[in-house]
């Protein structure tokens, strides 16, 4: 089989898988698994808008989802008339996945991992669980294991952009900018509006010290999801490296505003402000000198 034919065949298979998944409304187990997998609320909102939901959004479910970080846009989308698929009756969500999402929200990733691993034993072909396990291992800096988990997910269904985002994240943490960019671009070829894919493309470019292109990628990401604190933090990193210190300080402030618990942004902001301080003092002294000179005349 020629390489060109193999690529075309893979694209056709991927397209078929994507269409099959897109035709199915989102059920509660899938939504919870995606949350464990770290898929941002903005992306979840788009998926629900495209596919609808296969469970009833009762008051208890709404309160629970809000308590674990589901965005207001996502909840509003699920409440829309016609969002629930015809014949939907149950509002039950699996208790094990509910517990896993709560543990992730509390940053108890090891305990959440134990739940997901148990679920995978019972359902080893569940691509979403493989993605979730990959994210949990990345949160614990188990990069090699995360690579295996995302690779397993990719073998099951290469048409999911979040799998390629996860692999891009793995490659970035392995200081492999080229492969990080390649996986991000694959994600964008599947979903050109994927904000996280632009973010990981930016990180790959940043790792390769292509700062101007990285800044553009981060801006593309923020234009699609302006509520992502981590993207502002990444933008600040690239701006700092590109010696745009005042802009970097503003990006870190935006990251802190969106997520006050993002301690790395606070640390980086202090470093940037410390670096800016002598320059500001120098400008102040120059202005004072000009005023003194004027006064002397």
Domain count across the chain: 1
Say if 262 falls within a structural domain.
yes
Q: How does pLDDT run across 275-286, given as a tens digit for each residue?
A: 998 766 554 444
pLDDT recorded at residue 71: 85
pLDDT recorded at residue 93: 85
Say if 44 falls within a structural domain.
no
Say if 142 falls within a structural domain.
no
For residue 86, the SS3 value is coil
10 Å Cβ neighbour count for 91?
15
Q: How does pLDDT run across 99-151, given as a tens digit for each residue?
A: 999 999 999 999 999 999 999 999 999 999 999 999 999 999 999 999 999 99
Please provide residue 222's backbone torsions phi and psi, each rounded to the nearest 5 degrees.
-70, -30
Which of 110, 111, 91, 96 is closest to 33 using CA atoms? 96
| pLDDT at residue 17 is higher than 60 | no
The distance in angstroms from the start CA to the end CA of the chain is 86
| pLDDT at residue 64 is higher than 90 | no
Are the C-beta atoms of residues 196 and 40 closer than 8 Å to each other?
yes
Which of 227, 225, 178 is closest to 198 using CA atoms? 225
pLDDT recorded at residue 22: 53
pLDDT range class, residue 289, cuts 50, 70, 90: very low
Report long-range pairs for 61-70 (Cβ below 8 Å, ≥24 apart): 61/28, 61/91, 61/93, 64/93, 64/98, 67/105, 68/35, 68/101, 68/102, 68/104, 68/105, 69/35, 69/41, 69/105, 70/35, 70/41, 70/44
| pLDDT at residue 10 is higher than 90 | no
Q: Which of 18-22, 148-152, 233-237, 263-267 has the lowest mean pLDDT?
A: 18-22
d(CA 63, CA 70): 10
Say if 87 falls within a structural domain.
no
Which of 105, 87, 89 is closest to 97 using CA atoms? 105
Q: How does pLDDT run across 76-90, given as a tens digit for each residue?
A: 999 888 777 655 556
Say if 253 falls within a structural domain.
yes
Say if 249 falls within a structural domain.
yes
Tokens describing residue 236? 């600040």
Structural domain harbouring 238: 228-297
Q: How does pLDDT run across 198-218, given as a tens digit for each residue?
A: 999 999 999 999 999 999 999
Rounded to an integer, the average pLDDT of 3-25 is 53
Say if 259 falls within a structural domain.
yes
- Using alpha carbons only, give the angle 50, 64, 59 rounded to the nearest 5 degrees: 80
d(CA 82, CA 72): 18
d(CA 201, CA 95): 36
Say if 256 falls within a structural domain.
yes
- Using alpha carbons only, give the angle 15, 138, 181 rounded to the nearest 5 degrees: 50
CATH number of the structural domain spanning residue 284: 1.25.40
Which of 111, 110, 113 is closest to 131 using CA atoms? 113
């Amino acid at each position: 089989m020629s390489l060109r034919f193999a690529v075309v065949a893979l694209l056709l298979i991927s397209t078929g898988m994507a269409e099959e998944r897109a035709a199915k409304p989102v059920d509660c187990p899938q939504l919870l698994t995606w949350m464990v997998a770290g898929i941002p609320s903005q992306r979840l909102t788009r998926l629900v808008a495209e596919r609808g939901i296969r469970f009833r959004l009762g008051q208890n479910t709404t309160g629970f989802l809000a308590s674990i970080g589901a965005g207001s846009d996502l909840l509003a989308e699920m409440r829309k008339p016609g969002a629930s698929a015809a014949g939907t009756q149950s509002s039950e969500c699996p208790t094990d996945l509910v517990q896993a999402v709560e543990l992730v929200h509390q940053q108890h990733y090891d305990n959440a991992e134990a739940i997901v691993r148990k679920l995978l034993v019972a359902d080893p072909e569940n691509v979403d669980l493989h993605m979730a396990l990959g994210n949990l291992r990345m949160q614990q800096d188990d990069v090699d294991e995360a690579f295996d988990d995302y690779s397993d997910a990719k073998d099951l269904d290469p048409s999911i952009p979040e799998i390629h985002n996860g692999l891009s994240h793995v490659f970035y943490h392995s200081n492999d900018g080229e492969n990080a960019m390649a996986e991000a671009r694959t994600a964008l070829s599947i979903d050109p509006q994927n904000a996280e894919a632009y973010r990981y493309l930016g990180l790959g470019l940043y790792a390769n010290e292509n700062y101007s292109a990285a800044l553009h990628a981060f801006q593309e990401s923020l234009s699609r999801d302006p509520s992502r604190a981590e993207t502002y933090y990444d933008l600040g990193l690239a701006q700092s490296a590109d010696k745009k210190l005042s802009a970097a300080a503003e990006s870190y402030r935006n990251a802190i505003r969106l997520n006050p618990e993002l301690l790395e942004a606070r640390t980086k902001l202090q470093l940037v402000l410390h670096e800016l301080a002598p320059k500001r003092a120098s400008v102040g002294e120059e202005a004072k000198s000009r005023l003194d000179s004027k006064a002397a005349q």
